[in-house]
A and B are shown apart, each in its own frame.
Chain A
Amino acid sequence: MRPGPAAVLFAALGATALLAERWITVAAIAAVLLAACLAAPAGRRRFLYLAGASITALSVFLLTPFVETIGSHPLWTGPTIPVVGTLDVTKEELAGGAVAALRLLSVSLAFAAYALLLDHDRLLRSVRAGRRSALAVVLATRLVPTLERDAAGLIEALRGRGVAVAGARGHARLLSPLLAGSLERAYNLAESMESRGYGRPGATRALRPPWAARDWLALVAAAALVTGGVLWL
Chain B
Amino acid sequence: MALATVDRLSFSYPGRAPALRDVSLELRQGEMVAVLGPSGSGKSTLVRALAGLVPHFHGGRFEGRVEVDGMDTRRVRPSDLAGVVATVFQDPEDQVVFGRVEDEVAFGLENVGTAPHEIAERARQALAVLGSEHLLGRRVAELSAGELQRVCLASSLALEPQLLLLDEPTSQLDPETADALLRLACGLGVTVVLSEQRPAGPLEVCDRVLFLEEGRVILDARRDEAIRWLARHRPAYLPHEPAVTSTSTTGPIVCRLDGVSFGYRGGPPVLVDAGLELRRGEVVALAGPNGSGKTTLAKVAGGLLQSGRGTVDRRGRAVYLSQDPGRYLVRERVDEEVALAVGGDVSRAAPALAAVGLSGFESRHPRDLSSGERERLALASVLVTEPDLLILDEPTRGVDPERKDELARLLRAQAAQRATLVVTHDLVFAAEVADRTISLGATEPVYV
Contact = CB atoms under 8 A, between A and B. Distances in A.
Interface of A: 41-44, 119-122, 125, 135, 138-139, 142, 153-154, 156-163, 173-174, 177, 180-181, 184-185, 188-200, 202-207
B89 A156 contact: no
Given A138-B97, A159-B320, A200-B82, 5 more contacts: A44-B265, A160-B304, A161-B341, A196-B111, A203-B111
Interface string B107-125: 1111111111101100100
Interface of B: 51, 53, 56-57, 77-83, 85-87, 89, 91, 94-100, 103, 106-117, 119-120, 123, 155-156, 159, 265-266, 302, 304, 317, 319-322, 324, 326-330, 340-341, 367, 381-382, 385, 387, 391
20 contacts: A44-B265, A119-B99, A138-B98, A142-B99, A156-B304, A161-B381, A163-B341, A174-B330, A184-B367, A188-B95, A189-B95, A192-B87, A192-B97, A194-B53, A199-B79, A200-B111, A200-B113, A203-B112, A204-B116, A207-B117
A195 to B, nearest CB: 5
B89 A188 contact: yes
Given A42-B266, A161-B319, A206 B341 contact: no
B335 to A, nearest CB: 15
Contact of A158 (B87, B265, B330): B330
Contacts of B82: 195-197, 200
Contact of B112 (A142, A158, A197): A197
A198 B111 contact: yes
Contact of B110 (A154, A195, A205): A205
Given A44-B265, A188-B95, A200-B79, A195 B319 contact: no
B93 to A, nearest CB: 8
B97 A139 contact: yes
B329 A195 contact: no
Which of A154, A173, A206 gathers the greatest number of chain B CB atoms within 10 Å? A206
A200 B94 contact: no
A120 B81 CA distance: 31
Nearest to A42: B266
B364 to A, nearest CB: 15
B111 A197 contact: yes
B195 to A, nearest CB: 15
B99 A161 contact: no
A205 B120 CA distance: 10
B265 A43 contact: yes
A192 B95 contact: yes
Contacts of A202: 113
A157 B304 CA distance: 9
B103 A121 contact: yes
A177 B119 contact: no
A156 B116 CA distance: 45
Contacts of A42: 265-266
Contact of B324 (A125, A153, A159): A153
Nearest to B120: A206
Contacts of B330: 154, 158, 173-174, 177
Contact of A161 (B83, B96, B324, B340): B340
Nearest to B265: A43
Given A43-B265, A205-B110, A157 B116 contact: no
Contacts of B382: 160-161
A157 B327 contact: yes
Contacts of A159: 304, 320
A65 B363 CA distance: 64
Contacts of B106: 206
Contact of B159 (A119, A189, A193, A196): A196
Nearest to B156: A196
Contacts of A158: 330, 340
B352 to A, nearest CB: 12
Given A153-B327, A154-B327, A160-B321, A193 B97 contact: yes
B63 to A, nearest CB: 22
Nearest to B100: A121
A39 to B, nearest CB: 14
A196 B81 CA distance: 9
Contacts of A119: 99-100
